[in-house]
Amino acid sequence: MKNNSILRNISKHINLDKAEEESFLSLLISKSLKKKKFLLQSGDVCTHSAFVTAGCLRAYTIDENGFEHILQFAPPDWWIADMYSLITQKPGNLFIEAMEESDVLLLSKDDQEKLYHDIPKFERFFRIITENSLVANRQRVIDSLSLNAKQRYEKFCSIYPAVFNAIPQKHIASYIGVTPEFLSKLKAGGGEQN
């Protein structure tokens, strides 16, 4: 059953005893999302962190010209939330949408805070996954500054082969910061040097 996956995820960084596992699982709210349904929309206040157990979600903004820009993909075993809104409890700018039929486990901000207090190991767990997420985001900033479109595309494919095979390529274009037309050209053999 799906609760195994979240316990396995957590056990990568902390060890829980049976009672703690039960106590943690009792806080989770299971939710299914049909394709194109939203977990969160721009203007909403984010009240829960989500752990993906099936399917795939994406977090994106829409700019002033109506273009989407994908900040994050969340395949199974990933956490996703609008961190800005979750922390500040102010309305955010992110849409979080199911790219296909998906299942998530939700943990409310309040319960998360209680967890930090009741089982301090969870503070460690979330510190560690936040650190890892920060490292990945910093690397993405560096890549956006120092790699060209082709290099960013190749890096994306090599780092996220599973995601790459499961989603429309226009979403990859949106993630790496090019138009779908240009990505198509790249794949056809554009940017031949290199």
Partner DNA sequence: ACTTTTTCTTAATCTAGATTATTTGTCTGC
Partner DNA sequence: GCAGACAAATAATCTAGATTAAGAAAAAGT
Token pair listed for 15: 């060890």
Neighbours of 184 (CB within 10 A): 14
Of 48 and 150, nearer to DNA (C-beta) is 150
DSSP letter, residue 41:
-
Token pair listed for 55: 């399917």
Contact flags string 29-68 toward a second copy, x per CB under 8 A: --------------------------------x-xx--x-
Crossing angle, helix 3-11 and helix 18-25, to 10 degrees?
Answer: 130
Identify the CA nearest to 170 among candidates 152, 182, 157: 182
DSSP secondary structure letters along 74-110: E-TT-EE--HHHHHH-S----EEEESSSEEEEEEEHH
Considering only 30, 132, 169, 179, the residue that binds a second copy (CB under 8 A) is 132
Task: Establish if 127 lies at the interface with a second copy (CB under 8 A).
Answer: yes
Considering only 161, 168, 177, 190, the residue that binds a second copy (CB under 8 A) is 177
Contact flags string 70-89 toward a second copy, x per CB under 8 A: -x-----------xx--x--
List the single partner that 148 binds among a second copy, DNA, none, CB under 5 to 8 Å by kind.
DNA
Distance from the Cα of residue 101 to its chain's centroid: 16
DSSP letter, residue 116:
H
Residues 57-96 binding DNA (CB under 7 A) are 65, 67
Residues of this chain that bind DNA (CB under 7 A):
35, 65, 67, 148-150, 168-170, 177-185, 187-188, 191
Residues of this chain that bind a second copy (CB under 8 A):
61, 63-64, 67, 69, 71, 83-84, 87, 93, 116, 120, 123-124, 126-127, 130-135, 137-142, 144-147, 177
